[in-house]
A = this chain, B = another copy of it.
Amino acid sequence: MDNEEQLPEKSMPNISVDNLIFAMQDGQLKVLLVKYKQGLAANKWGLIGHWVHQDESLDDAASRVISATTGVENFHLDQLGAFGKVDRYPGRRIITVVYYALVRFDEANIHQGENTHEVAWFNVHDVPELIFDHKDILNKCLGQLKYKVRHEPIGFSLLPEKFTLLQLQEIYEAILDKKLDKPNFRRKIQKMNLLINCKEKQTAVAHRAATLYRFDVHVYEKLKEFGFNFEY
C-alpha cells in the first residue's frame, strides 16, 4: 500500500496490510487493483492496502479494507503471509501482511477510496506494472491458489449459489492457467459428490441452457477440514 502522507496517528507506523481481491468475470480470473492519488505510488497501480490501526487485529484490518472497497461483508479470506524484504518499500522499513479474498463478481460494488483515483479489475495474467514488490506478491498468491484449488474446494467461493459445470470448469482453468478436458473434468468433479443438481436450467441464455448445480455445504465443510485431491 502507499499513502504515507495520510498515516493516521492511530495506525502502526511500519505495518500495512495489502489485499488481493479475486473474482471471476467472463470466464477470467480477475484481481482488483488501485491507482493511488499521492505519495510514492502516485499514479501507479498496486494492491489495495492500508495501515493497520493500533486497535484492530491484522485480520480485521484486511476485512475493513476489503469491505470498504467491494461492499461485500462475507467472503473467503486467507492470509498469504508477511512480506518483509529490507528494501521492499522505498526509504522506509515497512512490513506488509498480505491477505487474499475470493468474492462473487456480481456481489461486488466497487467503491473508490479517498486516497485512490481508480479501482479496476484486471485479468491476473495481464496486469499493468505494479508498485514495490506487489508483482512478486501477486505471483506468489497465484502459485498458492494453484496449490489450494487442487486440495481444497475454494473455487466455490467465486461462484453464485447456482452455477453451471462450465462456470466451475472455467474457475479451475483460470486458476490452473490451462485448458482442461471437459468430460474428464466433469468425471473428477462428480466423483467428489460435492454437487447437488438443482433440477433447473439456466434462464439467461437463448438456447442450449445448461443444468444448474449448487454445492453441498455439508460435504464442502468436510472437505475444507480434510482436504481433497483434484489432480491436474
Contacts and interface: CB of A to CB of B under 8 A. Distances in A.
Q: How many copies does the complex hold?
A: 2
A82 interface: yes
Interface of A: 12, 14-15, 52, 54-59, 79, 81-86, 93, 95, 97, 147, 150-151, 227, 229, 231
B82 A57 contact: no
A226 to B, nearest CB: 9
Contacts of A97: 82, 84, 95
Contacts of A229: 151, 229, 231
Nearest to A151: B151
A211 B92 CA distance: 56
Contact of A86 (B15, B56, B86): B56
B147 A227 contact: yes
A30 B130 CA distance: 42
A52 B97 CA distance: 15
A231 B227 CA distance: 9
B57 A15 contact: no
